[in-house]
A and B are shown apart, each in its own frame.
Chain A
């Protein structure tokens, strides 16, 4: 991604600004009636002109959801959500049928420019294809032609349902079934857009794929669904970024991401999550209740998750790998930063099914203010997973004495040849470290940012380079005001 410094994903804030993405775009929207019911689902499905099978699938999910309980095992607290008091579909009104950039509302183009994601032919980011999702729909996808020439399909989920129904029907819900859990099931019923990618056998995707999610409308939930399939021997690196306006009320984001890697394929999935985190007193912010899972179905396949979680009032998210294929590899690299009143309960699940499967977990949790940060992870080795190996490392860093860090690892091994290692550390930012940096001329903020970035280095190194630069800045900004 050879973008100029000013045209990058995620952030380019300077110290002194807190949440730079809190603006609202004034735009005419097409919105579903408030509330959730079968009518809402039929409305969404009709808006998208969906085939019957998909509507039926949504309705089955909805009926299952009605009988489910909202999970309460995570170490997070929030008032009960009224699922009837929200909108489930909001799309910018289109002037005419979608197709070219000329037909997109200029206000939306301006919004993405302001976010550092220009979509126009002239300014678009070099070497990176972007699918821009605005509230419930995808508004543009760049470089579609270049990717098509390589045989790669990268488009909004709605287009995939229309243009590649056989692929969608074959894989949708096979990694995260519609009955999976409360939030994933809700997503299955009401999901609106998201990205779809298919990399054909033997193809190394010629550019980074990326989706930029933006919540704009008030009182609206965002329920996107992403599906990425890497066919035999293919490779893809995918990035996602997200921001939302500053609002006093909480907004729900319940996404589902499914990844499928066949024989010898590799998927690298990176997230920089910067949803609005709420104010210093914990008012407002996004509830980020997300289910992400990848299936290493093929032999020698690899799925790696890298996440930098700095936003959201609450993060509830466990990107996982099902290691089914022999010799398949799962990796999870995570940075979770919470400040003020933010709460994060995040980690991963590594399910070893195939022989000689390997997994690596590196989690870096940073807590400041009055925030609570929990790492929750499961490593399970099934009886058939002879020779399975896992290494887990969980490090927590505390800033101040009113925040909390918690580590909850679950380890279940049913095979005696498995080797599982778990290391955990908790430390505080030392007064000595701060003083040392300040003695060299760094401000308090820059010192904290430097120390925390050092603490996170192992994970930041996993990100594509330009993305890592932005993530480093974000780390500093998220912790502003956390010391002294």
Chain B
């Protein structure tokens, strides 16, 4: 589904990714772990198409297509979803209406009929109950004044509604208490299916107790230094990132 080959990228002339290789097949969940500044968020933003990154070598294919040539909205419509580490505030736009606008934009691009308000509310209700999100939060402007946990749950709600084929979650576990972490993890697990792939970017092993990955990769200095099974995450938790390159 996703193939990253020898990816080199820089921001403002500073090299961040230095020959990153990664293959993520359909149906699998991979975790990328690494210390601060190793290039984790750069990778997430690059995959989603944020401006400001210069790809100096290598490339990315998504379902056989050149991902980097696609506009951000095109990637989204083709099923790529990024859960932001720091979700952005959109003042004055109620969360529910933002969700409906996004879902309908994607459905329209896929040639599916758009939901009217009544249909959408039904779909929304099922998913939000699952995440413990109340009506009040859906009425408030998106991410404005949300607590850290609410923001992360809102990201997962968007993910469940948009039903992506490739979900990239950038530190969705950070800043969550144990109950919120469990809810978020259930949301991610609900998305797992043989047709989908999930890339979990995380600093800690904690989330991986709830969402068990098929593969774990260690990102340091802008490239994958090590890959292994789920037990690699536990090893990292014990030993830290120092020395893993050996």
Q: Which residues of A contact B (CB under 8 A)?
A: 430-433, 435-444, 446, 450-451, 453-458
Q: Is B33 interfacial (CB-CB < 8 Å)?
A: no
Please, which residue of chain B has its CB at the minimum distance from the CB of A431?
Answer: B51
Partner of A432, one of B81, B82, B88: B88
In the complex, the 9 A-B pairs of residues with the closest C-beta atoms, listed nearest first: A454-B92, A457-B92, A454-B93, A440-B102, A441-B106, A436-B88, A438-B72, A441-B76, A441-B105
User: Separation in Å of the A483 CB from the closest CB of chain B?
Assistant: 12
Q: Contact between B101 and A446 (Cβ–Cβ < 8 Å)?
A: yes
Q: Which residues of B contact A436 (CB under 8 A)?
A: 84, 87-88, 90
What are 28 A-to-B residue pairs whose CB atoms are below 8 Å?
A432-B88, A433-B88, A433-B90, A435-B49, A435-B50, A436-B84, A436-B90, A437-B90, A438-B71, A438-B76, A439-B49, A439-B73, A439-B76, A440-B162, A441-B73, A441-B77, A441-B162, A442-B105, A443-B73, A444-B73, A450-B98, A453-B93, A454-B91, A454-B92, A455-B91, A455-B92, A456-B92, A457-B93
New contact pairs (14) apart from A436-B90, A439-B49, CB-CB < 8 Å: A435-B72, A439-B82, A441-B73, A441-B162, A442-B73, A443-B73, A446-B105, A450-B90, A450-B98, A451-B90, A451-B93, A453-B93, A456-B92, A457-B92
Provide the bound-state CA to CA distance between A353 and B5, in Å.
74
Q: Is B18 interfacial (CB-CB < 8 Å)?
A: no
Q: Which residues of B contact A455 (CB under 8 A)?
A: 91-92
Provide the bound-state CA to CA distance between A108 and B102, in Å.
41
Q: Is B158 interfacial (CB-CB < 8 Å)?
A: yes
User: Separation in Å of the A462 CB from the closest CB of chain B?
Assistant: 14
Q: Which residues of A contact B89 (CB under 8 A)?
A: 433
Q: Is B46 interfacial (CB-CB < 8 Å)?
A: no
Q: Which residues of A contact B98 (CB under 8 A)?
A: 440, 450
Q: Is B69 interfacial (CB-CB < 8 Å)?
A: no
Q: Is B123 interfacial (CB-CB < 8 Å)?
A: no
Q: Is B141 interfacial (CB-CB < 8 Å)?
A: yes
Q: Contact between A440 and B71 (Cβ–Cβ < 8 Å)?
A: no
Q: Is B109 interfacial (CB-CB < 8 Å)?
A: yes
Provide the bound-state CA to CA distance between A453 and B91, in Å.
9
User: Separation in Å of the B243 CB from the closest CB of chain A?
Assistant: 36
Provide the bound-state CA to CA distance between A453 and B98, in Å.
11
Given A431-B51, A441-B77, A457-B92, the answer on whether A450 and B72 have CB atoms closer than 8 Å is: no
Number of A-B contacts (CB under 8 A): 75
Q: Which residues of B contact A446 (CB under 8 A)?
A: 101, 105
Q: Which residues of B contact A437 (CB under 8 A)?
A: 90, 102
Q: Is B31 interfacial (CB-CB < 8 Å)?
A: no
User: Separation in Å of the A256 CB from the closest CB of chain B?
Assistant: 33
User: Separation in Å of the A393 CB from the closest CB of chain B?
Assistant: 13
Please, which residue of chain A has its CB at the minimum distance from the CB of B87?
Answer: A436
Q: Is B166 interfacial (CB-CB < 8 Å)?
A: no
Q: Is B43 interfacial (CB-CB < 8 Å)?
A: no
Provide the bound-state CA to CA distance between A334 and B106, in Å.
33
Please, which residue of chain B has its CB at the minimum distance from the CB of A446?
Answer: B105
Q: Which residues of B contact A430 (CB under 8 A)?
A: 88
Please, which residue of chain A has its CB at the minimum distance from the CB of B71?
Answer: A438
Q: Is B200 interfacial (CB-CB < 8 Å)?
A: no
Task: Enumerate B66-82 residues with CB–CB distance to A below 8 Å.
Answer: 71-73, 75-77, 81-82
Q: Contact between B51 and A440 (Cβ–Cβ < 8 Å)?
A: no
Q: Which residues of B contact A450 (CB under 8 A)?
A: 90, 93, 98, 101
Q: Is B48 interfacial (CB-CB < 8 Å)?
A: yes
Q: Contact between A439 and B72 (Cβ–Cβ < 8 Å)?
A: yes
Provide the bound-state CA to CA distance between A26 and B68, in Å.
52
Provide the bound-state CA to CA distance between A338 and B110, in Å.
34
Partner of A442, one of B75, B82, B101: B101
Provide the bound-state CA to CA distance between A442 and B84, in Å.
16
Please, which residue of chain B has its CB at the minimum distance from the CB of A447?
Answer: B73
User: Separation in Å of the A365 CB from the closest CB of chain B?
Assistant: 15
Provide the bound-state CA to CA distance between A442 and B90, in Å.
14
Q: Contact between A440 and B105 (Cβ–Cβ < 8 Å)?
A: yes
Tell me which of A437, A440, A441, A450 has the highest count of chain B C-beta atoms within 10 A of its own C-beta: A441
Q: Contact between B158 and A440 (Cβ–Cβ < 8 Å)?
A: yes
Provide the bound-state CA to CA distance between A443 and B105, in Å.
8
Q: Which residues of A contact B81 (CB under 8 A)?
A: 439
Residues 46-74 of B, flagged 1 when their CB comes within 8 A of A and 0 if not, give: 00111100000000000000000001110
Q: Which residues of B contact A441 (CB under 8 A)?
A: 73, 76-77, 102, 105-106, 109, 162
User: Separation in Å of the A259 CB from the closest CB of chain B?
Assistant: 29
Q: Which residues of B contact A451 (CB under 8 A)?
A: 90, 93
Q: Contact between A438 and B73 (Cβ–Cβ < 8 Å)?
A: yes
Given A446-B101, A450-B98, the answer on whether A439 and B90 have CB atoms closer than 8 Å is: no
Provide the bound-state CA to CA distance between A279 and B236, in Å.
62
Provide the bound-state CA to CA distance between A173 and B203, in Å.
72
Q: Which residues of A contact B106 (CB under 8 A)?
A: 440-441
Q: Which residues of A contact B77 (CB under 8 A)?
A: 441
Q: Contact between A439 and B105 (Cβ–Cβ < 8 Å)?
A: no
Provide the bound-state CA to CA distance between A438 and B50, in Å.
9
User: Separation in Å of the B209 CB from the closest CB of chain A?
Assistant: 28
Q: Which residues of A contact B51 (CB under 8 A)?
A: 431, 435
Q: Which residues of B contact A435 (CB under 8 A)?
A: 48-51, 72, 88
User: Separation in Å of the B24 CB from the closest CB of chain A?
Assistant: 19
User: Separation in Å of the A57 CB from the closest CB of chain B?
Assistant: 46
User: Separation in Å of the B141 CB from the closest CB of chain A?
Assistant: 7
Provide the bound-state CA to CA distance between A435 and B48, in Å.
9
User: Separation in Å of the A484 CB from the closest CB of chain B?
Assistant: 9
Residues 88-124 of B, flagged 1 when their CB comes within 8 A of A and 0 if not, give: 1111110000100110011001000000000000000
Q: Which residues of A contact B162 (CB under 8 A)?
A: 440-441
Provide the bound-state CA to CA distance between A451 and B106, in Å.
18
Q: Which residues of B contact A432 (CB under 8 A)?
A: 88
Q: Contact between B102 and A442 (Cβ–Cβ < 8 Å)?
A: yes
User: Separation in Å of the A121 CB from the closest CB of chain B?
Assistant: 31
Q: Which residues of A contact B50 (CB under 8 A)?
A: 435
Please, which residue of chain A has its CB at the minimum distance from the CB of B89?
Answer: A433
Please, which residue of chain B has its CB at the minimum distance from the CB of A457?
Answer: B92
Q: Which residues of A contact B84 (CB under 8 A)?
A: 436, 439
Q: Which residues of B contact A454 (CB under 8 A)?
A: 90-93, 141
Q: Which residues of A contact B92 (CB under 8 A)?
A: 453-458
Provide the bound-state CA to CA distance between A441 and B108, in Å.
10
Provide the bound-state CA to CA distance between A413 and B76, in Å.
55
